[in-house]
Amino acid sequence: MRLIAPRLPLPALRAPRRPARLFLAAFLASLLIIGYGIVYDVPGTSIPVGPEAVPFLLPPLGWLALAAAPGLVLAQRGGWLLYGWALPIVGLATVGGLTGSHLLIAYRHAPYLMAPLALMAGTGFMALLRMQATPRRPQFAAGLGAILICGALTAYPPAAVMGGFQEGTTNAELGCVLWTQQVEPGALIVSDHRLSSLAFGLGERNASWENGADVITATGVVRKVATPAAGTQPVGYVLLSDEMRRGVTLLQWEPAQPLSEEAAAKFDPAVYDSGRCQLYRQAPDSLM
């Protein structure tokens, strides 16, 4: 890339005369896009995000505006390469949002955008800082520091403001997931999408992801489930936690819903209990 980039005939943009205004315009444009998800739903999903989510979204918009202001990034060396990295991902997310695709789910592209956007935001900040008069530079540096601190404080919003989705995990859940390594080989662990990912990745167990919906939410016992990787399998164990009971994450384009008391009542007793997370065994004829 270092050999090719200097030879690419990329147009060079002049540095903007009013970079602070350009940053503010990019921030307001990003705010309008976020506002659409608040007034309606997250593009490509039926997940509502209410006004209570705004305080958690404003800090990321601050540094995102540094990346979204073209004049700040494209006026720098290598700026076009960063845009060439980010724009295809943004394009796929846009197509997914406009078409409602369940394959190209718009918000699921966010993790892949973090790397180019982080470099673009850093480039934009350095450009904005250099374009300011010397006496004003400490103010801009302090402003970025405040944005980063606020971003750290709001990095994990409560599930109540994010469509019921839990963004992290707990020690109890990790302990329960790691304990699943002790069960018999080949046993299917049924849980919601989030805990299935943990059971598959950390516990190294066959999991159900969203296919376990009927096993979890039905009021009666479901003995078999279709899995993405191994076809239809008998239910070996069911993994539940307090966080999951408050919001069962199944389809990634629908909001998480609390587990009903009737559905939860059929899971008893637990073969392993870490306090706030339990593993239940499925017996041949009934769920124990």
Higher pLDDT, 51 or 194: 194
pLDDT of 6 reads 56
Cβ of 258: how many Cβ atoms within 10 Å?
Answer: 13
Domain residues of the chain, as ranges? 5-161, 171-281
pLDDT tens digits, 223-232: 888 887 777 8
Spatial contact of 189 and 236, defined as CB atoms under 8 Å apart:
yes
pLDDT tens digits, 194-239: 998 899 888 888 888 888 888 898 888 888 888 877 778 888 899 9
pLDDT of 9 reads 63
Spatial contact of 27 and 61, defined as CB atoms under 8 Å apart:
yes
pTM metric for this prediction:
0.70
Tokens of 211: 């296919």
pLDDT classification of 145: cutoffs 50, 70, 90:
confident
Pairing between strand 270-273 and 224-227?
unpaired
Spatial contact of 258 and 244, defined as CB atoms under 8 Å apart:
no
Residues in Cβ contact with 107 at an 8 Å cutoff, skipping those fewer than 6 apart: 42, 43, 44, 45, 93
Which of 31-45, 71-85, 132-146, 213-227 has the least mean pLDDT? 31-45
